[in-house]
Amino acid sequence: MNVRAVLPIMKKYEKCPKCGNNKIGNGEGGIIIEDDTYTRTCKCGFKITINEDGKEDAEEIN
């Protein structure tokens, strides 16, 4: 994904919408940016993947 597409998404998901956690790394959550997707995970089980067209795929993992 290009920077112009990623920046607004990063701002939107800076904090987990489920629990409010704003940390990543060390088991707190993570961000994965690939060619065509952005994925944000959280220790509470929240996970969202957004493709380059803006389609969001949210799920809860345990």
CA dihedral 44, 9, 7, 55 (to 10 degrees): 130
Q: Report how many domains make up the chain.
A: 1
- The pLDDT confidence band at residue 2, using thresholds 50, 70 and 90, is confident
In tens, the pLDDT along 13-61 reads 999 999 999 999 999 999 999 999 999 999 999 999 999 888 999 888 7
Contact 11, 4 (CB under 8 A): no
> How many Cβ atoms are within 10 Å of 37's Cβ, its own excluded?
14
Q: In this predicted structure, what is the pLDDT of residue 62?
A: 65
Rounded-to-integer distance, Cα 53 and Cα 21, Å: 26
Q: The tokens 């380059």 sit on which residue?
A: 52
Domain that holds residue 13: 3-60
